[in-house]
Each structure stands twice: as C-alpha cells, then as structure tokens.
Amino acid sequence: MVQRELSSRYKGSVMGLGWAIISPAVMIVIFTIIFSGIFGARFSNTSGHLSFAVYLFCGLLPWIAFSESVQRATNSLLENINLVKRVVFPVEALPVNLALAAVVTQLLGTTVLLVAHVILAQQLHLTVLWLPVLLIPQLLATLGLGWLMASLGVFLRDMPQINQLVFMAWMYLTPIFFPENLVPPQFQWMIHYNPMAPLIRSYRRALLEGQPPDWRGLGFMLAFAVVCFVVGYWWFQRTKKAFADLL
C-alpha cells in the first residue's frame, strides 16, 4: 500500500518523486528570503543565508511528514469507501499507510539535506545515527492523530477545514522558520508546551550540529506521542463499526 501510495501520488508527472523535494525547496527559498534576507534572522551568529536554508529544511522535513499525514488521514476513510465496507479489510491500515509513505518521503529529503550539509560544512556528524530514535515519537504521534482524525472525519465532515486551520497555526507557532531565541520571553511558553518544538530542535542538533538530541524535550514529545497513539487507536477501534453505515 505504501508503494502504491507513493507511485500514485506522482503518477503521470514528469518529475515524479522529485516533487517531494521541489515543493519544500520552493518554500525554503521563499521563507529564507523573508526571514533571513528581509528580517535578518540567523540560527547562529556566524550563519549566512545558505546555512539558514539548511536549518529551515531540517525543521521543515519532519513537520511536513507529520502534518500532511494527519491531514490526509482525515479523508482516508472517505476516499476508500469500497475498502471500508469490506468486512475483512483492516481499515486502521489506511492512516498507517499514509504515515509510512510520509516517512519514506522524509528520508528521501533527509538524504538531500545531509548532502547539502556536507557540501557547506565539509563534515558529517556521527550523531546522524540518532535519526531512527527521533522517528519513533514522530511516527507514534502521527499514527495516533491519524486514527483519531480519520474517525472524526467520518462523523464530522468539517474536520479537513478545521485541521487545515489548526495545523497552519501550529506550524507558525513552532520554531521552524525562525530560531527560538527570537521568541520574546512572554511567549516562550508556546515553545515549552509545544511537543513539536523539542523534536525539531533534536533533529537540528543531531543532523547539523553534532550534538545528542534534547532528551528532556524529547521525553515530553514521547509522552505526547504515546498519549496520542493510545487514545487515537482506542477511539478508532470503538467507532469503526459505524463507519460502513455512515459512509
């Protein structure tokens, strides 16, 4: 299913899977011009525009994999009514399919990121081996919220629009496009209680800075992810008997 998802997403296009790199690359150029070029934001005192773009790309990759999977999961049951009405088909696999496909795309982008970092910094840190550890809480949270949104999408058809607004606000409240030190003290609580902030911080530390992940923040993200996973799966299993009738 993951292979079919990846192939069908770009079927017939000239660039194929290349769009998985082109789309975030265009966003990176735009936000680098805005935040680094116009507002002069820097992730370190010595970094330039290219370094800013690499840091931005590093934060954008896990966010895209996470947010797009959850938002697409909201319509996953509605788009596969024929599978939902088959008693023998495990419908909980539909959000899982989207989550795994997003991880594959993220890993493809991470490869490009590491190549760019090697070209700029002339080194590759061994801390990149922490990457599988960082993927665990991200995947758990994606699966849990995916199951929850897939179920709610059947009962409440406004969920795609609601999710779009929520994730847009969540994205701009997460230090993806700007360094954390630019956030005023009175708004730092939005960083402390944002589970995606320490995850993205850990990605940057492990992949770009040669430092271990932020274990304390990652523990908070893991707790959030486990709660999402348990609640999402429980809710999905409790409500899935009604899917066929409502669809």
Structure confidence at residue 62 as a pLDDT band (50, 70, 90)? very high
On the question of pLDDT at 145 being above 70, the answer is yes
- Checking phi first, is residue 125 left (phi over 0); if not, alpha (psi -120 to 50) or beta? beta
* Both tokens assigned to 113: 């990121």
Burial of 122 (0-12, 13-18, 19+ CB in 10 A): exposed
Q: Assess whether pLDDT exceeds 80 at residue 228.
A: yes
Domain that holds residue 44: 2-246
Nearest to 78 by CA among 153, 140, 20, 129: 153
Beta carbons of 205 and 127 less than 8 angstroms apart: yes
For residue 132, pLDDT beyond 90? yes
* Residue 237 pLDDT: 93
In total, how many domains does the chain have? 1
- Convert the pLDDT of each residue in 18-55 to its tens digit: 777 777 778 888 888 887 778 777 776 656 778 888 88
In the predicted model, what is the mean pLDDT of residues 59-84? 91
The set of residues, in sequence order, having a beta carbon less than 8 Å from that of 189 and lying 6+ positions away, is: none
In this prediction, residue 25 carries a pLDDT of: 77
The single residue listed with the structure tokens 């850990």 is: 202
The pLDDT, as a whole number, for residue 115 is 87
pLDDT of residue 168: 94
CA 191 to CA 195: how far, in whole Å?
8
Would you say residue 88 has pLDDT above 80? Answer: no
Q: How many secondary structure helices (H) and strands (E) does the chain include? A: 11, 0
